[in-house]
Amino acid sequence: MFEQKDLKGLWISQTHGILISNPPYGVKMGNLKELTGIYVLLHHMFKNKKGWSLYILTADDRFPDFFKRARPDKVRKLFNGAIEVNYYQYYGDRPKAADRF
């Protein structure tokens, strides 16, 4: 199932899943205070959700400092126009065969 929701209204009851997010960069939209709040919220929501994979696209190099569940499994450098962004990939634990849908 695919859903699009505001992070503040997100409730996660599943043990496994994928979150893909492109928060404001703090360059053209958003500011550092707003970004810090988003990063802290992501950390609190997913710090114990080891079965979730997260993919975050941001121009802010500070993201891994706030999301402390683990270091990124992979970081890819990309460009959104002239803005250099990082695509942080955090791989979650795979579900056991009995838990797969």
Residues 6-57 have pLDDT tens digits of: 777 788 889 999 999 988 766 655 677 788 888 999 999 999 999 999 999 9
Residue whose structure tokens are 């053209």: 28
Of the ranges 8-17, 63-72, 76-85, which one carries the lowest mean pLDDT score? 8-17
For the cut 60, the answer to whether the pLDDT of residue 101 exceeds it is no
**Where along the chain do its domains lie?**
17-95
What does the alpha-carbon distance between residue 45 and residue 14 come to, in Å, rounded to a whole number?
Answer: 12
Paired tokens of 6: 């505001």
Closest CA to 63 of 81, 100, 82, 89: 89
Q: What is the CATH number of domain 17-95?
A: 3.40.50.150
